[in-house]
Amino acid sequence: MTSLYNLTEQMIGLRNMMEDDDLPLTHDQLTDTLDGLSGEIEIKAENLMGYVSNLASDVDMIDIEIKRLTARKKVIKNRQDGLKRYLRDNMAAAEIDKITCPLFSITLRKAPLVAITPSDPFEIPEKYHRTTVAINKTLVKQDLNAGIEIPGCKLLPGQRGLLIK
């Protein structure tokens, strides 16, 4: 069976032949051949979209499994964190700072916490700030389409999209 790529190459070749005046085939013969190739391409496209549909159902099942595993991971992580808190709280209450056994050692350590007290974050020197700029590309596109010039922005020709209904 001929691939979609090969059918497309044949179609392009036949269209180029139609522009040639020294053809061994008549215009009607070329048109019939193009119609036949077009039909084959349509069948290929239909089969290809059936396969794409099957892949989409696989993606949906994977998404469901990801959600299930993510929820399970959260439950296990919460259990792990809860047990660590339980051990830490009991060691602190019993005033035990270190437990050593053959497989591991457990130590209660003091870690200072950073408290940010000003209500206005700009009171803190700028070197401690972490900020990112997020550009609203939808708004930029609307304004560029409306003819508004925006420094550092321009519309580029995009790739043609595939619309499947």
Q: pLDDT (tens digit, 9 = 90+) per residue, 134-158?
A: 888 899 899 989 999 888 888 888 7
Which residues, 6+ apart, have CB-to-CB distance to 141 below 8 Å? 155
pTM as predicted: 0.53
Which residues, 6+ apart, have CB-to-CB distance to 88 below 8 Å? 108
**Partners of residue 106 on adjacent β-strands:** 99
Q: pLDDT (tens digit, 9 = 90+) per residue, 66-119?
A: 999 999 999 999 999 999 999 999 999 999 989 998 988 999 888 777 777 777
Q: What is the CA radius of gyration of the chain?
A: 33
User: What's the start-to-end Cα distance of the chain, in Å?
Assistant: 27
| Of the candidates 42, 33, 36, the residue with the CA atom closest to the CA atom of residue 4 | 42
Q: pLDDT (tens digit, 9 = 90+) per residue, 37-68?
A: 888 899 999 999 999 999 999 999 999 999 99
pLDDT band at 163 (very low <50, low <70, confident <90, very high): low
For the chain, give percent helix, strand, coil, nearest 5: 60, 5, 40
Long-range pairs for 61-65: beta carbons < 8 A, 24 or more residues apart: none
